[in-house]
Amino acid sequence: MVTFQLCNSLKFLIPVSINQGSNTLHSPRDNSVIKVVVNTPLRRSFDYLPPENISTQLSSGLRVRVPFGKRELIGLIVETSIESDFSFSELKRIIEVVDQEPVFDAQMMSLFKWAASYYHYPLGQVIYNAMPAHVRQGKTLALSRTNKAKHEGNLETLTTELILNEQQELAKDAIMKQGNRFHCFLLEGVTGSGKTEVYLQLIAEKIRSGLQVIMLVPEISLTPQTIQHFKGRFADNIVAIHSGLTDKQRFNAWSDARLGKADIIIGTRSAIFTPLLRPGLIIIDEEHDTSYKQHEGFRYSARDLAIYRAQLFDIPIILGSATPSLESLHNALSNRYSLLSLELRAAKASKPTFNCIDLKGKPLSEGFSEELLDSINAHLQQNKQVLIFLNRRGYAPLLQCHDCGWTATCTRCDTSYTLHRSSPELRCHRCESQRKIIHACPSCHSRALLPIGLGTERTEKKLEESFPEVPIFRIDRDTTRNRNKLEDTITAINKGQKAILVGTQMLAKGHHFPEVTLVAVLDADAGLFSSDFRGQEFMGQLLIQVAGRSGRGKNAGEVLIQTHNSTHPSLNTLINNGYKQFSRTLLEQRSMANLPPFSHQALIRAEASKVSLPMDFLKEVKNITKPNLPDSIFILGPLPAPMEKRAGRFRFQLLLQASNRAELHNLLNQMVPVYEALPLNRKVRWSIDVDPLDFS
């Protein structure tokens, strides 16, 4: 049984002891039992005997080749012992020790064990997910290319540091005063306030001290431009780690970081598992972004793991955002983190002005009011750039029969097909299934099929008709599938010529467009009435982030928000008082409702191709859990997921909510083995999502 202690500074659970049970058999002192984890959904390690005639000491972190049933698998040693739950005659021997020295050191192994315990996920699969394919396959760790020798403390500066304003200098000094010991800083800086320059100068200090830095960004699309920016300041000891790399590229970058030959590691969420030789600082840019949460399989939060890793390695960590998550903000206001504020834009740029366009009763042309079209034209006449934001890709989110009301619906999901015209097809944005465009209603055979609603394709077409002489750049998942397409598009935009940018939330994430002076939000209403209690938080973050692309150069920026709810109190607080007041108001509401971050949740999900199976499984889970519930935990469900059917599978969920985090995890530790023993366990696909962000 795993017991826990609570880490006061982070409010995280740390496993401190493991009781192996009373059936342990003691082996002779001259033998040892090697406990190995492999890539299997079983939540346990497996006991093996050392290879025969081995002279070296086996230790945690070494890869080994082991017999596993009828197969041979690559595993990792997690512990050596003189005890086993099995007799020695039952234990098989390790076939081969792959490494001469551990792949992961003791601190990284502690990180993996904590992650497996906190997220209730098999340790073998946690470690498997953290390794490049080359390492998983048991291949040599020798680099496949020549690396430059690394000289500690060497820093080659290519461009000069910018002069920090007073607020930036205060933030930098506050972080530097903490030295190289663990401390968590929340850097709350308005868009365009120069957070990146603060990062760069702090990184320079760490490199001068011979230390390495990990910086996480939320999206692959941001990685190339971040690397380009950093290479403009530093030399070439920078590597990228993200899922867009080839296996060879990823392994080489991982090896450079592990051997200390890379000073700066820039990557998406999986990069938090990168081993470092000389760790010195972790930076989480746009820490609020939900991309840091893995939503399938091992459902970890890279931000939260980064905080625990910083504490484990005793190094500082910076969480940066113009729109901090309510969890991080709550920790900062509770003095568990240090809150640093940047309220002025860098280089004396002014904050954009906000105005709402009330759409009630106004005629619209493909989603555009006459007032908005006039404003777009006015900015273009000044040879400036305009950004149009609509968080729906495709041409139209619905194809409907005008005569009988039939709609084109995905047969595998509870959602409609989206009409695409650039590559003509109907496409489901949930399971990505596709079908040809139909020209007659299958229900009444009418040919009066109408595209309903707006997507970025349709918006682009309207803008081309209204401003035929102006270049238009559409940025969404459909136009940036090619690896270099987004980078090329951003380069073209930043040539400074007048242009219109139209796209989804990809445009809102950290891009610097100095010539954009108008940002227009076509429809701000969806987030105001979300059934998800986090809906307004996400809406506020997205609006402020996309608005922050305006006025980042010499010219003032303007933000126009089209809405049918211009008097909505949340929207008014956001645009009149800013995210700072908006977020504090939401925190007060969450406190009164006892919702996260004032409580703690775990969502048990189940799905199957037969609708009754996941519901029946979760009913059994609920029935066996209820007698063990402490007073601090309540259970809700089982209920259908908001999208009950996705990719041909029916989905249900059961929510556990607790006022005490430790009691929630102790309950799960006690009950998960019981859930695995249920008869329906093998007939459904089920998972535990700790600290869920997405209930869909």
How far apart CA 621 and CA 317 sit, in angstroms, is 39
Amino acid at 192: G
Give the pTM.
Answer: 0.89
pLDDT along the chain (696 residues), means of 10: 38 36 38 89 92 82 93 93 84 91 94 96 95 92 55 56 90 93 95 90 93 92 78 83 88 94 94 96 96 94 97 96 96 96 81 89 90 94 92 85 89 86 84 87 90 87 92 83 75 86 81 86 83 90 88 84 91 92 95 96 96 95 94 94 89 96 95 94 94 90
527 contacts 538 by C-beta, under 8 angstroms:
yes
The 8-class DSSP code of residue 522 comes to: S
Here the tokens at position 488 are 């090329």
3 state SS for 282-296: EEEECCCCHHHECCC
Neighbours of 104 (CB within 10 A): 23
Q: Which has the closest alpha carbon to 217: 268, 158, 252?
A: 268
Domain 350-396+453-591 = CATH 3.40.30.10: no
Which residues does 52 contact at the CB level (< 8 Å), separation at least 6?
93
How far apart CA 327 and CA 311 sit, in angstroms, is 18
How far apart CA 379 and CA 525 sit, in angstroms, is 25
The CA radius of gyration of the chain, in Å to the nearest whole number, is: 27
pLDDT (tens digit, 9 = 90+) per residue, 621-650? 999 999 999 999 999 999 999 888 888 899
Return the CATH architecture of domain 600-690. 2-Layer Sandwich (3.30)
599 contacts 657 by C-beta, under 8 angstroms:
yes
Half-sphere exposure of 61 (CA within 13 A, CB side): 15
DSSP 247-274: HHHHHHHHHHHHTT--SEEEESGGGGG-
Q: What is the pLDDT of residue 345?
A: 81
Where in the sequence of the chain do the CATH 3.40.1440.60 domains occur? 24-136
How far apart CA 38 and CA 18 sit, in angstroms, is 19
Q: What is the pLDDT of residue 158?
A: 61
Cis peptide before 597, with omega less than 30 degrees from 0?
A: yes
Q: What is the pLDDT of residue 322?
A: 93
111 contacts 75 by C-beta, under 8 angstroms:
no
Which residues does 377 contact at the CB level (< 8 Å), separation at least 6?
467
Scanning 142-187, the segments in alpha helix (DSSP H) are 166-177
Q: What is the pLDDT of residue 31?
A: 55
3-state secondary structure of 549: coil
401 contacts 442 by C-beta, under 8 angstroms:
no
How far apart CA 614 and CA 652 sit, in angstroms, is 6
Where in the sequence of the chain do the CATH 3.40.50.300 domains occur? 166-347, 350-396+453-591
Q: What is the pLDDT of residue 607?
A: 95
Domain 166-347 = CATH 3.40.50.300: yes
Q: What is the pLDDT of residue 157?
A: 56
Query: 320: which strand partners?
Result: 187, 285
3-state secondary structure of 656: strand
Q: What is the pLDDT of residue 532?
A: 87
Query: 634: which strand partners?
Result: 657
Q: What is the pLDDT of residue 528?
A: 82
If one looks up domain 24-136 in CATH, what number appears? 3.40.1440.60
